[in-house]
Amino acid sequence: MAYINVIDYPDSEGQLKSIYEGLIQSRGKLAEVHKIQSLNPATIPAHMDLYMKIMFSKSPLRRYEREMVAVIVSKNNQCPYCVKHHGEALLHYWKDQARFDLLVDDYTKANLNPKELALCQFAEQMTLQPNSSSQTVIDQLKAVGLDDRAVLDLMLVIAYFNFVNRMVLGLGVQLETDEGKGYKY
């Protein structure tokens, strides 16, 4: 149960109802992370626009890499809601539950290539020690093939999920009863 009042779909009206209907149409269903913002409906499409640009727009980072980073950030923030949702998205690409379980348990044992390992290490580092970046750290990312745009996109994914994890955890967002399955990836 969320720690603040939430307006559910059947009780929504006007702008909020329209936003909810658009999310159901485009995403397949309505997520609790959207409903937690129901008292300030204008933030929902702004949030979704940022999410779509960071996670789905053209990038040197592949979609599965962005989802993998989302899982690592969320795991380090102890956010089961986002681990579950973005784990489902990652599994859409990986199709390997055992590998996913290793990623969550100890990503260094998940048979990652050097680039994937560097992405996970940087995501963990920026989540747990956000002031620890340096030119040396960025140069290490570049050594595994990231250019400046890829580094920027990586940081955007990391920052976005730290933001969302804090909103989810801080406001008591609970995982949907269908355990997060069924979204359009």
| 63-170 CATH | 1.20.1290.10
Q: Is the pLDDT of residue 178 over 90?
A: no
The model's confidence at residue 183, banded by pLDDT at 50, 70 and 90, is low
Position 1 confidence tier, pLDDT thresholds 50, 70, 90: confident
Q: Helix and strand tally (H, E) in the chain?
A: 9, 0
What angle (nearest 5°) sits at the alpha carbon of residue 153, between those of residues 69 and 79?
30
Burial class from Cβ neighbours inside 10 Å (0-12, 13-18, 19+) for residue 91 reads middle
- In the chain, what's the furthest Cα-to-Cα distance? 53
Q: Does the structure show a pLDDT above 60 at 21?
A: yes
Indicate if the pLDDT at residue 180 is higher than 50: no
Is 93 strand, coil or helix?
A: helix
Segments making up each domain of the chain, as ranges: 9-56, 63-170
- Amino acid making up residue 54: I
Q: How confident is the model at residue 177 (pLDDT cuts 50, 70, 90)?
A: confident
pLDDT category at 181 given cuts 50, 70, 90 is low
Rounded to two decimals, what is the model's pTM?
0.93
Cβ(167)–Cβ(36) below 8 Å = yes
DSSP 10: G
How large is the average pLDDT for residues 58-79? 98
- Per the listing, tokens 């008591």 go with 172
